[in-house]
Amino acid sequence: MRSEAEISYIAGLFDGEGSIYFAKRPEKKKKHKGKGHRISISQRISMEITMTDESVVRWTHEVLGCGTVVRKPRKGLRKDGTKYLMQWKWRCTFRDAYYVCCLLWPYAHTKLPKIQQIIDHYQGTVMNNKIVHLDEYREAMSLE
């Protein structure tokens, strides 16, 4: 069970260390039959937090219950000749990103416009055989 404190902490962490990617654009897709390609409008939705503290990234993954955690090694050396620290990345996409946005929405500040964009995109869509509306979510959160 996630506490309000955990979610608000993750929202602050995400405001500082996270990034959101939301785009709809034409992309080339390989044709299934024959040569060439076709152009289709594709959407890309993802959220991620990248940092050097593995325990915080894994804790975020555990609390949110979605996404993946991967190592993100950095090559080369700093200007002073020392190696870069290992980076860790938590990432989720599409409907998992929508789920996380709904959790973070009440607490987010700097990433709020992008979070709202993802929520608006999925507003009124079917998830787990139930239509989810942001107004219902807000009302349910205020009753707790």
Supply the pLDDT for residue 39. 80
pTM as predicted: 0.74
Supply the pLDDT for residue 134. 58
Domain covering 4-30+38-143: architecture: Roll (3.10)
Low-confidence ranges of the chain (pLDDT < 50): 126-127
Phi, psi dihedral angles at 140 (to 5 degrees): -65, -40
Task: Give the three-class secondary structure for 125.
Answer: coil
DSSP state of 34: S
| Domain locations in the chain as residue ranges | 4-30+38-143
On whether the CB atoms of residues 93 and 100 are closer than 8 A, the answer is no
Supply the pLDDT for residue 8. 95
Supply the pLDDT for residue 144. 56
Measured CA to CA, the distance from residue 54 to residue 90 in angstroms comes to 10
* pLDDT one-digit tens code per residue, 58-97: 999 999 999 999 998 888 888 898 888 889 999 999 989 9
Q: Which of 73, 110, 93 is nearest to 23 (CA)?
A: 93
Supply the pLDDT for residue 38. 77
